[in-house]
């Protein structure tokens, strides 16, 4: 018998999105803010609380990257680890590796431990973004098992590469955890919505439907040097329906119920995952790869 | 290959520049609140000229911080158009913000007396910089941050005085083209007379922005939008039928005025030089 794609089916649970405005480069104050949102989420019986990209640091750090980066064994993280005994937590930070590289990481805490780390693969380095100047790029895209089922973390620009979503999907993630420091741009009257918000809502909807997955998107708010981060964090169900959406521009804690039954229903109605041809995808990618690199 | 026609490009620019007004207002209110509060201030101060740009900054600041927290400085020179002061007073009254009227003549005339050969441009720049001195000094007295009143069109064209009216801590309107300033001003209820009057720096009698620049704001905004925001190349715009002289003049001015939009250049000697490789955000630790 062939091994099962996933041995850890999705369970029903309550997810919380902590849409915060971090203080730029002030880790101590941001940890305090995390603890306040954790306390509020605990009062609302949240099982997994998600913070935005670089929630511990803020976004436009520039040379502050090297000065404020934390190792995963940094004692300042202890209160967050302690909180994760009862509630799982995903947050963002500048992670300093053993060989002194700095990564834009999504750190998943569970049962008092660092359970998984995703290092942002696609560093945004163009236009208003300059991540590649200061940060090292991650080398892995992996789904991972949690007490709620199999998840995959992606960070902001990772989401703009459908291959990244496809890989964690193929790796068995039923829940995609997207964290972001998404700046708000585009205020033309052509649209009712902020242009960046419209694009993200489209992406989240598309990926949820195509993967028949839950897609979680936690974006930050606040301003850094005049740039606004628009918020609008949301949980999108496997049928593309928006289960909850946070307000724009304001800090908020919103929650949603992740339902194992809803996932099963959608995959019964629309068996995209059943029909997915990983073998064919692999063969064709291998052919393309050989033609290009060998 | 099909070439985009000039009329189509202008229509495209017009549509794109047409603002989502409630959203723009929300972002700019929240911008002013955030960037003022995070530096430990609750108040702002600005020079109110009687023109549309400073009126818009005043309306945005009053909406964001509350009218009592915005101080307007009215700083006429003896040759200033009296209508400018009257229009500024209309704004002060409409918003119910505190204001200070101070004639800058005694500040600048003794200096002018030393240099009889000064042309109007030099005199205008001195006046703009005298107003900056008052703005920054009053910002301390009012325990507040100085607000900017330069729009994107004038910043791109360098049509403003370095260390004069360009000086501020926080500028809510610097990413709005002049035509967008007009849209948002209407949306916020700025008196029509201020929106409609011909734009002027009022640094000498009869001065007019559009005659000095040599083109209408609406036309240059469309061109700047295509060049700056959409990154059209000049050749593409010329092929579409834009007038050569117009495109050349505007691209040349944008380039030649770049120095005004950057801090002074520093001779690099050390390992880490300010701006070059000593890079920190302005909101460091905020």
Domain extent listing, chain A: 13-259
In whole angstroms, give the CA distance from residue B275 to residue B252.
25
**Residue B20 to residue A188, Cβ atoms within 8 A:** yes
- Rounded to 5°, the CA angle B62-B68-B74 comes to 75
Q: Check residue A19 and report its DSSP letter.
A: E
Nearest to A172 by CA among A59, A3, A58: A3
Contacts of A33 in chain B (CB under 8 A): none
How close B23 comes to chain A (CA, Å)?
7
Nearest to B20 by CA among A204, A197, A183, A246: A197
- The b-or-e profile of B137-147 (16+ CB within 10 A means b, else e) is ebbeebebbbb
How close B161 comes to chain A (CA, Å)?
22
Contacts of B19 in chain A (CB under 8 A): 187-189
What is the per-residue pLDDT across A179-236, written as a single tens digit (0 to 9) for each?
A: 999 999 999 988 889 999 999 999 999 999 999 999 999 999 999 999 999 999 999 9
What is the structure's pLDDT at A206?
Answer: 98
By percentage, how much of chain B surpasses pLDDT 70? Answer: 100
What is the structure's pLDDT at A223?
Answer: 97
pLDDT at A6 over 60: no
What is the structure's pLDDT at B251?
Answer: 97
Distance of CA B175 to the CA centre of its chain: 9
**Residue A228 to residue B281, Cβ atoms within 8 A:** no
In whole angstroms, give the CA distance from residue A60 to residue A279.
41
Residues of chain B with pLDDT under 50: none
Rg of chain A over Cα atoms, rounded to whole angstroms, equals: 19
3-state secondary structure B87-130: HHHHHHHHHCCCEEECCCHHHHHHHHHHCCCCCHHHHHHHHHHH
Which of A 129-188 lie inside 8 A of B, CB atoms? 184, 187-188
Query: Which residue blocks in B38-81 are alpha helix, DSSP H?
Result: 52-65
Contacts of A63 in chain B (CB under 8 A): 278-280
What is the structure's pLDDT at A7?
Answer: 73
pLDDT category of residue A273 using cuts at 50, 70 and 90: very high
Mean pLDDT (whole number) for A269-287: 96
**Residue A226 to residue B18, Cβ atoms within 8 A:** no
Q: Is A11 on the interface with B (CB under 8 A)?
A: no
Please count the helices (runs of H) and the strands (runs of E) in chain B.
13, 4
Interacting residues of B93 by C-beta distance below 8 A, sequence separation 6+: none
Q: Is A60 on the interface with B (CB under 8 A)?
A: yes
Give the residue numbers of B annotated as catalytic, written as ranges. 53, 154
A 10 A CB-CB count for A131 gives 22
Distance, first Cα to last Cα, chain A: 35
Distance of CA A50 to the CA centre of its chain: 8
- Tell me the DSSP string of A37-75: HHHHHHHTT-SEEE--TTTTT-S--TTHHHHH-B-TT-G
Contacts of B17 in chain A (CB under 8 A): 188
- Tell me the DSSP string of B258-270: GGGGSPPP----S
How close A101 comes to chain B (CA, Å)?
18
Contacts of A25 in chain B (CB under 8 A): 281, 284-285
**The domain at A13-259 falls in which architecture?**
4-Layer Sandwich (3.60)
Q: Is A249 on the interface with B (CB under 8 A)?
A: yes
* Averaged confidence pLDDT in chain A: 96
Distance of CA A99 to the CA centre of its chain: 25
**Residue A189 to residue B21, Cβ atoms within 8 A:** yes
Of residues B15, B26, B285, nearest to A24 (C-beta):
B285
CB A246 within 8 A of CB A51: no
What is the per-residue pLDDT across A226-243, written as a single tens digit (0 to 9) for each?
A: 999 999 999 999 999 999
Distance, first Cα to last Cα, chain B: 52
What is the structure's pLDDT at B1?
Answer: 63
What is the structure's pLDDT at A1?
Answer: 57
pLDDT at A66 over 70: yes
By percentage, how much of chain A surpasses pLDDT 70? Answer: 98
- The b-or-e profile of A230-266 (16+ CB within 10 A means b, else e) is bbbbbbbbbebeebbbbebbebbbbbbebbeebbeeb
**Residue B31 to residue A191, Cβ atoms within 8 A:** no
What is the structure's pLDDT at B4?
Answer: 86
Search chain A and give the residue with CA nearest B174.
A226
**Separation in Å, CA B104 to CA A133, B110, B134:** 47, 11, 9
Task: Tell me the helix, strand and coil percentages in chain A, rounded to 5.
Answer: 35, 30, 40
- Candidates A28, A63, A184, A189: best to mutate against B (most CBs of B within 10 A) is A189
pLDDT category of residue A5 using cuts at 50, 70 and 90: low
Of residues A184, A192, A224, nearest to B27 (C-beta):
A184
Question: How is chain B split into domains, by residue range?
Answer: 19-209
Mean pLDDT (whole number) for A130-156: 97
A 10 A CB-CB count for A267 gives 16
Tokens of A200: 């993200």
Q: Is A228 on the interface with B (CB under 8 A)?
A: yes
pLDDT at A2 over 70: no
The sign one gets for the Cα dihedral A185, B178, B158, B63 is negative
How close A223 comes to chain B (CA, Å)?
7
How close A189 comes to chain B (CA, Å)?
4
CB A258 within 8 A of CB A175: yes
**A6 or B151, which is more confident?**
B151
What is the per-residue pLDDT across A109-133, written as a single tens digit (0 to 9) for each?
A: 999 999 999 999 999 999 999 999 9
**Separation in Å, CA B105 to CA A1, B80, B134:** 93, 10, 12
By percentage, how much of chain A surpasses pLDDT 90? Answer: 96
Tokens of B263: 């801090």
CATH of domain B19-209: 3.40.50.620
Contacts of A61 in chain B (CB under 8 A): 281
Mean pLDDT (whole number) for A72-94: 98
Contacts of A222 in chain B (CB under 8 A): 34
């Amino acid at each position: 018998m062939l091994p099962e794609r996933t041995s850890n089916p999705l369970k029903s649970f309550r997810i919380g999105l902590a849409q915060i405005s971090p203080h730029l480069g002030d880790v101590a104050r941001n940890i305090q803010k995390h603890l306040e949102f954790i306390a509020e989420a605990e009062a609302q019986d949240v099982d997994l609380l998600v913070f935005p990209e670089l929630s511990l640091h803020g976004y436009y750090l520039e040379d502050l990257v090297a000065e404020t980066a934390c190792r995963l064994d940094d004692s300042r993280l202890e209160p967050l680890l302690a909180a994760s005994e009862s509630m799982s937590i995903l947050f963002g930070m500048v992670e300093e590796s053993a060989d002194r590289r700095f990564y834009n990481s999504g750190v998943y805490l569970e049962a008092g431990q660092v359970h998984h780390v995703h290092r942002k693969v696609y560093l945004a380095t163009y236009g208003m973004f300059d991540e590649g100047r200061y940060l090292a790029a991650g080398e892995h895209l992996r789904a991972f098992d949690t007490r709620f089922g199999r998840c995959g973390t992606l960070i902001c620009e990772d989401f703009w590469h459908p291959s990244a979503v496809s890989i964690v999907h193929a790796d068995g993630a039923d829940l995609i955890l997207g964290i972001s420091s998404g700046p708000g741009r585009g205020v033309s009257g052509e649209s009712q919505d902020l242009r960046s918000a419209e694009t993200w809502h489209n992406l989240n909807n598309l990926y949820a439907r195509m993967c028949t997955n839950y897609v979680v998107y936690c974006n930050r708010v606040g301003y850094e040097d005049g740039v606004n981060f628009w918020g609008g964090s949301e949980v999108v169900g496997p049928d593309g329906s928006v289960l909850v959406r946070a307000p724009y521009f304001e800090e908020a804690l919103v929650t949603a119920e992740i339902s194992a039954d809803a996932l099963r229903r959608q995959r019964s109605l629309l068996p995209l995952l059943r029909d997915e041809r990983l073998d064919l995808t692999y063969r064709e990618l291998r052919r393309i790869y050989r033609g290009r690199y060998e | 290959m099909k070439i985009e026609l000039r009329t189509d490009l202008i229509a495209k620019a017009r549509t794109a520049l047409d603002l989502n007004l409630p959203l723009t207002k929300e972002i700019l209110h929240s911008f002013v609140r955030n960037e003022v509060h995070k530096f430990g201030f609750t108040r702002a101060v600005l020079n109110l000229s009687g023109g549309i740009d400073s009126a818009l900054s005043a309306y945005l600041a009053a909406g964001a911080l509350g009218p009592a927290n915005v101080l307007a400085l009215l700083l006429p020179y003896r040759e200033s158009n009296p209508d400018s002061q009257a229009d500024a007073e209309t704004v002060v009254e409409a918003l119910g913000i505190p204001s200070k009227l101070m004639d800058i003549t005694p500040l600048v005339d003794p200096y002018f007396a030393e240099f009889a050969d000064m042309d109007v441009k030099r005199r205008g720049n001195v006046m703009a910089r005298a107003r900056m001195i008052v703005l920054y000094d009053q910002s301390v007295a009012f325990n507040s941050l100085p607000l900017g009143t330069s729009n994107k069109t004038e910043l791109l064209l360098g049509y403003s005085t370095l260390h004069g009216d360009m000086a501020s801590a926080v500028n809510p309107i610097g990413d709005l083209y002049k035509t967008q300033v007009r849209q948002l001003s209407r949306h916020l209820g700025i008196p029509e007379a201020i929106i409609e009057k011909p734009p002027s720096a009022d640094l000498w009698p009869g001065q007019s922005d559009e005659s000095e620049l040599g083109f209408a704001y609406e036309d240059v905004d469309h061109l700047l939008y295509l060049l700056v925001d959409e990154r059209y190349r000049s050749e593409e715009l010329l092929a579409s039928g834009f007038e050569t002289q117009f495109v050349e003049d505007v691209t040349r001015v944008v380039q030649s005025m770049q120095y005004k939009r950057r801090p002074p250049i520093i001779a690099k000697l050390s390992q880490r030089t300010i701006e070059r490789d000593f890079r920190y955000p302005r909101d460091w630790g905020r």
